[in-house]
Amino acid sequence: MDIIARLFSAALTVSASVENPAPAAAALIETEFAQISPETAARRAEAWLISLDTLRARFVQIAPDNVPSTGIVEIDRPGRARFDYDDPSPVLVVADGATIAIADFALETLDRTPIGATPLRFLLGRNPDLAGSGVVVHADRHDGRLHVTMEDPGGEAEGQLTLVFDDPQPDAGAETMMLAGWYVTDALGGLTEVSLLDVETGIRINPRRFILDEEDITRDTRRRRGR
């Protein structure tokens, strides 16, 4: 299984199904989009990402096999993120600024890959030059939301990432937007949707939350640190 599939669906193979997942998850992809130029969307998304410091939210994730899962995501730009899946999933995903670590506490395994080899590079990168780099390949608007689809023109990061923003005032500044979620298309065409709920930005996050070592897996410090 490639790293993108593992990053967004490894936890789902061992977690129980969530009854009545939040409707926002199913609403990320909608029909009858109004297209806008990729350049315009890139500049708007880039401005929002540059302004983002920290973010915390509940998430609902729908894997390619339509199995749902939930948890908490924390982002500390640039480079750091933590995907803490709800029990009974034993999986924790941590980006430390250089690599993405995928821990399985049941198997006591820890795998890493460079952030630059995944579509998360567009969300976590220090200098998100979306407008000048040509990474934005498609953009559209629908029902007050902006969808910005990106892929690596050099092919280093496999798949596509589409960021979905609540953007009810497209003529206002990017500060009026909020990240609503994203979806990832992996190298095999599998689609994983992530919808964010109860989003907070500008909050303080302990830097220790973005450190994950081999000894943490055997000691299960995920739970000791307070999930």
Interatomic CA distance for residues 124 and 115, integer angstroms? 8
Residue 3 has pLDDT above 70, yes or no: no
Q: What are the strands of the beta sheet with 191-201, ordered from one edge? A: 34-35, 136-142, 145-151, 160-166, 178-185, 191-201, 54-62, 68-76, 80-85, 91-96, 99-104, 109-114
- Segment (H or E) for 98: none
Structural domains for the chain: 3-218 (2.50.20.10)
Mean pLDDT of 118-125: 86
| pLDDT one-digit tens code per residue, 27-38 | 444 445 577 889
Interatomic CA distance for residues 44 and 72, integer angstroms? 26
* pLDDT top residue among 104 and 188: 104
Mean pLDDT of 139-153: 92
pLDDT of residue 108: 85
81 Rama sector, left if φ>0, alpha if ψ -120 to 50, beta otherwise: beta
| pLDDT one-digit tens code per residue, 23-77 | 444 444 444 557 788 999 999 999 999 999 999 999 999 989 898 999 999 999 9
Q: pLDDT > 70: what percent of the chain?
A: 81
What does residue 13 show for φ and ψ, rounded to 5 degrees? -70, -15
- Predicted confidence band at 176 (pLDDT cuts at 50, 70, 90)? very high
Across the chain, mean pLDDT equals 82
Of 160, 181, 178, nearest in space to 61 by CA: 181
